[in-house]
Amino acid sequence: DQQVKQNSPSLSVQEGRISILNCDYTNSMFDYFLWYKKYPAEGPTFLISISSIKDKNEDGRFTVFLNKSAKHLSLHIVPSQPGDSAVYFCAASGNYGQNFVFGPGTRLSVLP
C-alpha cells in the first residue's frame, strides 16, 4: 500500500501558466514533506520543503501548500517555464529526515 500517492502520472501546461502538482499521504505520523525535481539521466534535486507546523512555504516561483486534515499537499509553479519540464517527486518523513517515503512522481511538460 502506497503511503505517498501522486495520482497524476503526467501533466501538460502552457508556458506562463500555473502548474499544480498534487500529493496525498495516508500516514498521519508524517510531519515533514519535500518536493524533488528530476531531469532524465540525473539524480533528483531538492526543490522545496514544508513542515507540519506550517500550511504554506514559498521560494520564488514555487509554493507548497499543506492541508493536514486532508493529508494533501500541492506544489504550485507560477509562471511555468519550459525548463521546469521534469519529473516531480513528493516525499514525506515521520522523523524529520530519516526514512523518506517517496511518491511515484508526476511528469510535468511545459509547452512553449
Partner 1 sequence: NAGVTQTPKFRILKIGQSMTLQCAQDMNHNYMYWYRQDPGMGLKLIYYSVGAGITDKGEVPNGYNVSRSTTEDFPLRLELAAPSQTSVYFCASSPPGSDEKLFFGSGTQLSVL
Residues that bind partner 1 (CB under 8 A): 2, 4, 9, 32, 34, 36, 41-46, 49, 89, 91, 93, 96-105
Task: State the minimum distance, in angstroms, from the CB of residue 11 to partner 1.
Answer: 15
Read off φ and ψ for residue 55, nearest 5 degrees. Answer: -120, 0
User: Hey, which bits of the chain come out as E strands?
Assistant: 4-5, 10-14, 19-25, 32-38, 45-51, 56-59, 62-67, 72-77, 86-93, 101-102, 106-111
The SS3 assignment for 82 reads helix
Task: State the minimum distance, in angstroms, from the CB of residue 27 to partner 1.
Answer: 13
Task: State the minimum distance, in angstroms, from the CB of residue 112 to partner 1.
Answer: 27
Please, which residue, 39 or 111, has the CB nearer to partner 1? 39
Please, which residue, 86 or 91, has the CB nearer to partner 1? 91
Please, which residue, 62 or 100, has the CB nearer to partner 1? 100
The SS3 assignment for 83 reads helix
Q: Which positions ≥6 away from 104 have C-beta within 8 Å?
A: 2, 5, 6, 9, 89
Task: State the minimum distance, in angstroms, from the CB of residue 69 to partner 1.
Answer: 23
Please, which residue, 79 or 94, has the CB nearer to partner 1? 94
